[in-house]
Amino acid sequence: MLVQQLQGIVDQVVHRPQVLHSIPEGSEILKVTTQLHTILAAAIKRNTDSELKKFKATKSAVQPVSLPDLPPIHDAVLERAVFTHPGAPVNIAPEGVEHNYDRLEVLGDAYVEVIATRLIWDQFKDMPAGRMSQIREDLVKNETLASFASQYGFDKRVSLSVPEEQKLQSKRWLKIRGDVFEAYVAAVILSSPDRGFAMIEQWLRELWLPRLSQVQPVQTVLRYKEQLAKKVMGKGVKLRYVEEQPATRLDGGMQTYYMGVYLTGWGWQDQHLGSGSGLNKAIAGDEAANRALQNCPLIDQVAAVKVAHDRPASGVKEADSNTQLI
């Protein structure tokens, strides 16, 4: 404020020098005043820019993430139960009345699974079943649901009824928030039999779609198995694809499978040609075939035996054709 007042005074001196009748025109005082005017203007601009940045940063920090509207629970008893931990002391509730989220989360879990499956089914028409299960696991896992619960403030509403020692255990607190989210889903549906499921399904779809937009569809064209078969297959020859080790679990519920391809025929017995891995057995098997095609010199030796075996038959056909022409 003082800087701005000082600049105002200097501004008058610079633009209305007649206010200083006693000072000769072109005096050093006016030159210095002009320089001071420039410096003060720059200082005020810096302060203004700084305040604007602070305002924008503050606004960004407090502005809520865009979330779909929360479907209401049309039953005060159910709503209270959703945000009551099973370990909280409560009065004896009448039979058939929920007094905590213990049972509600079981029902909500089932609804969440079904809705997630329906969404994936609609979004990815040709996706293999195994990949669908992996994506569904990512949508319904505790980490995902707990995050949604916190964004809607569920953690604060249930916190008062949760024992302090459980809130200090990160995994336990994560599961509690996920359970509360599932309980909320069940309570909305139970309290609105006519429209509850439709409201919840629309709500969950809007929450999940941003995550699904990051999903890379599985490549459906698996060509290496076909190429390998053309290169080595013949009468009595077998290619056997086997799972070489148990699948390993990845983050987000996905798994990596391990397959190997083995050849019997052309003088080889159960000969290992190559191994591969992938998000399902089909992809892993195709990768194993790809590795087999690159397994030189073995694959070239097998192919050479096949060509040598096929050549006499081809020669007989050519001879028969020439005989007919004569």
Residues 181 and 207 in one domain: yes
Half-sphere exposure of 74 (CA within 13 A, CB side): 10
Residues 205 and 149 in one domain: yes
List pLDDT tens digits, range 137-169.
999 999 999 999 999 999 888 877 777 877 778
Mean pLDDT of 32-58: 49
pTM: 0.52
Token pair 């290619």 is found at 239
Residue 140 counted as domain residue = yes
Rounded to whole angstroms, the Cα distance separating 119 from 286 reads 28
Rounded to whole angstroms, the Cα distance separating 256 from 212 reads 20
DSSP letters spanning 163-228? -HHHHTSHHHHHHHHHHHHHHHHHHHHHH-TTTHHHHHHHHHHHHHHHHHTT--PPP----HHHHH
pLDDT at 173: 86
90 neighbors 99 (Cβ within 8 angstroms): yes
Residues 231 and 302 in one domain: yes
Total domains present in the chain: 3
284 neighbors 130 (Cβ within 8 angstroms): no
The last residue of one of the domains, among 33, 62, 91, is: 62
**Does residue 116 have a pLDDT over 80?**
yes
Residues 48 and 89 in one domain: no
Residue 217 counted as domain residue = no
Tokens linked to 42 = 């720059």
The residue among 212, 208, 190 whose CA lies nearest residue 71 is: 190
Residues 86 and 205 in one domain: yes
pLDDT at 278: 87
pLDDT at 31: 60
Residues 202 and 239 in one domain: no
CATH of the domain at 268: 3.30.160.20
Residues 144 and 124 in one domain: yes
Mean pLDDT of 54-58: 40
**Does residue 5 have a pLDDT over 60?**
no
Residues 180 and 244 in one domain: no
pLDDT at 58: 36
List pLDDT tens digits, range 235-261.
999 999 999 999 998 655 568 899 999
The last residue of one of the domains, among 185, 212, 239, is: 212
CATH of the domain at 115: 1.10.1520.10
Residues 48 and 133 in one domain: no
What single-letter amino acid sits at 178? G
Please state the three-class secondary structure of 108-173 as a single string: HHHHHHHHHHHHHHHHCCCCCHHHHHHHHHHHHCHHHHHHHHHHCCHHHHHHCCCCHHHHCCHHHH
Parent domain of 33: 2-62
pLDDT at 110: 98
275 beta partners: 260
Residues 83 and 54 in one domain: no
Rounded to the nearest integer, the mean pLDDT of the chain is 80
Residues 171 and 256 in one domain: no
